Amino acid sequence: MNTWTRKDLLALSDLDAGELGIILDTARAFKGVGERNLKKVPALRGKTLVNFFVEPSTRTRTSFEIAAMRLSADVVNIAASASSLIKGETLKDTALNLQALQADIIVLRHSSAGAACFLSSRLDACIINAGDGAHEHPTQGLLDTFTILEKRGPIQGLKVAIVGDILFSRVARSNIHALVTLGAEVTLVGPPTLVPKLFEKLGVRVVHRLDDVLESADVINLLRIQHERQRREYFPGLGEYVSLFGLTKARAARLRPDCLIMHPGPINRGVEIDSEVADGARSVILDQVTNGLAVRMAVLHLCAGGVGLPS
């Protein structure tokens, strides 16, 4: 398909290569806006966006807020701790009230998989999933893909290793869907408890030794252990995890000179990645954050029917 027809962005598993291409092309058009003195275009003037984050966030919430402001939308932020969810109001009632307040776009982060999908079938407002439990984090998958495309060219055939807690990672799932759809060779790396073989059904390879992928990877994406979603211990201890799966300085020395080192943040320095590696020349971690602005501008513009693209 060559045109965007969706009012919501719920999951990258819903999108085909054409739709991913539309978002990535639109993001490229918006990236230049952030490099201007006047970082604003009128594309969503008159629209109201509500950022509704029921789980903590630094990057995603701020990025959606700045992206919406750059598109000239009005933005309201709601934190769960200061909302009537605390008094027992349901997610559905909260969202219906936001719609009654004439919100055009609701950006939702929630601990339950499917929360954004639940709202999308009940509300006329655009619903953008900013992370739902361990299910998906579509704009993170898009900004990661955009960064790889920007730094390394076409995704087709690139060898991408995603390392760490895949089982509980919504970032991993969104990356897998986008990268496999666009033709990357994706390898998941981690302990068998956190990277079970059943992930191979998504069109990826599963390995349990980081040392086996270091020399061949074009991109290595390190993920945080999601302690907040784990109900039991999945490995004996952090020391053992670092010794087997941490991207230490010694392991980084074995990566190709042009290998991109990525992390969605927040980083646990000294666990999944050493400080010197995270801050080193091959790290694109902060580029990912900057690219999140252009990607989120593109998503908001497309879903909310924004007018005009920057020239």
**Residue in 265, 267, 268, 287 binding ligand CP, rule: CB under 6 A:** 265
Q: Which of 4, 6, 28, 57 binds ligand CP (CB under 6 A)?
A: 57
Angle at 266 between CA 263 and CA 272, to 5 degrees: 55
The contact pattern for ligand CP, residues 137-156, with x = CB under 6 A and - = no contact, is x--x----------------
CB of 59 closer than 8 Å to CB of 291 = no
Residue 228 in the binding site for ligand CP (CB under 6 A): no
Judged by phi (left if over 0) then psi (alpha if -120 to 50, else beta), residue 73 lies in: beta
Is 60 a residue that touches ligand CP (CB under 6 A)? yes
Q: Is residue 120 within the footprint of ligand CP (CB under 6 A)?
A: no
Residue 306 interacting with ligand CP (CB under 6 A): no
Q: Stretches 74-82, 99-107, 111-119, 263-271: which one binds ligand CP (CB under 6 A)?
A: 263-271
Among 59, 152, 229, 256, binds ligand CP (CB under 6 A): 59
Q: Which of these, 177, 174, 107, lies nearest to 140 by C-alpha position?
A: 174
CA-wise closest residue to 176 among 188, 165, 168:
188
Taking the least distance from each CB to ligand CP, the nearer of 21 and 265 is 265
- The torsion angles phi and psi of 38, rounded to 5 degrees, stand at -95, 100
Q: Does 264 bind ligand CP (CB under 6 A)?
A: yes
Q: Residue 229 to residues 232, 270, 292: CA-CA distances in angstroms?
A: 9, 21, 24
CA 273 to chain CA centroid, Å, is 19
The residue among 59 and 256 lying less far from ligand CP, judged by its C-beta, is 59
Residues that bind ligand CP (CB under 6 A): 57-60, 131, 137, 140, 264-266
